[in-house]
Amino acid sequence: MATMTEELTETAEQERFDALIADEQRIEPRDWMPEKYRRTLIRQISQHAHSEIIGMQPEANWITRAPSLKRKSILIAKVQDEAGHGLYLYSAAQTLGITREEMTDALIQGRARYSSIFNYHTPTWADMGAIGWLVDGAAICNQVPLCRASYGPYGRAMVRICKEESFHQRQGFEILYELSHGTPEQKQMAQDAVDRWYWPSLMMFGPSDDASPNSAQSMAWKIKRFSNDELRQRFVGMCVPQFEALGLGCPDPDLRYDEESGQWIMGEIDWAEFEEVLAGRGPANAERLRHRRDAHDDGAWVREAAAAYAQKMQDRRRFAA
């Protein structure tokens, strides 16, 4: 049981934490923080890291089949960037007292979430364009506000990630632009990819606000700055002129402009599909996890070799001292 002195200290710490948040200051790893704040950050940052790592798979699928050497090297660079994002984010989560092994175990044992979007297949080259344009586009829309997240290591990781995501979004748009201005078959392939990725990319923003249990508290702690629906709405508004520039149609037949609010109002999202994917029953859930598990097993010798080398270096320094 906490003593009275401990309780008083905790109240003072809580007050200091609240003041830092109210004053738009950053919380750093050395600072006291409420246990729920710490757990929320571990949840969100680790889910985000897992998304980047699993998110390498749908695109890696096309590295060997990219239509030119230039396209291949750009795609390799993009997939490597996603690995880097995963690593920054795992490092940010580690500052909160969880180990990389614990996070990896949770992912490969199927206990951790990662973004629903990566549970869809990529059957054509145009999917690389649709992922870059829509998926990275949605990621930027969601993540730019996270650069101001109250937890320092997360916000700082997001600054760099967002810069790279902007390049990803542009390369996806450019792939689709070339296809949509190519042969009728290429244009059709681009339209088909956009038709398949549009709705899942809207689901990336999470459940609607009235079904989002974490939003209110995360916004009060200034981890999230906008609600899921606000960001989704912003994204739809950004997509409309880009559909026009691409010469492609938006697959939402109910999309309409509302003069009064000055916003594009979208049709109903298929939340049943979202729930299915979250429950592990999306088109590629099992395959994604199996692949990640196999990659982890195949990489065991690399981890062992790295640990042995680190130990050798440490011993050498100790004996030299």
Residue 153 or 206: the one with the smaller Cβ distance to ligand FAQ is 206
Residue 40 or 187: the one with the smaller Cβ distance to ligand FAQ is 40
Check if the beta carbon of residue 169 is closer than 8 Å to that of residue 137: yes
Residues lying near ligand FAQ in the complex (CB under 6 A): 43-44, 47-48, 51-52, 55, 82, 113, 115-116, 131, 135-136, 139, 142-143, 203-207, 212-215, 218, 228, 278
Backbone angles phi, psi at 252, to 5 degrees: -100, 105
* Helix spans in the chain (H): 4-22, 35-54, 56-60, 69-94, 100-108, 126-130, 136-143, 152-180, 184-203, 215-220, 228-246, 271-278, 285-298, 300-320
Backbone angles phi, psi at 144, to 5 degrees: -60, -45
Residue 104 or 115: the one with the smaller Cβ distance to ligand FAQ is 115
**Minimum distance between the CB of residue 169 and ligand FAQ, rounded to whole angstroms?**
9
**Minimum distance between the CB of residue 268 and ligand FAQ, rounded to whole angstroms?**
17
**Minimum distance between the CB of residue 100 and ligand FAQ, rounded to whole angstroms?**
17
**Minimum distance between the CB of residue 232 and ligand FAQ, rounded to whole angstroms?**
9
Check if the beta carbon of residue 263 is closer than 8 Å to that of residue 233: yes
**Minimum distance between the CB of residue 12 and ligand FAQ, rounded to whole angstroms?**
29
76: left (phi over 0), alpha (psi -120 to 50) or beta: alpha
Residue 180 or 228: the one with the smaller Cβ distance to ligand FAQ is 228
Residue 169 or 191: the one with the smaller Cβ distance to ligand FAQ is 169
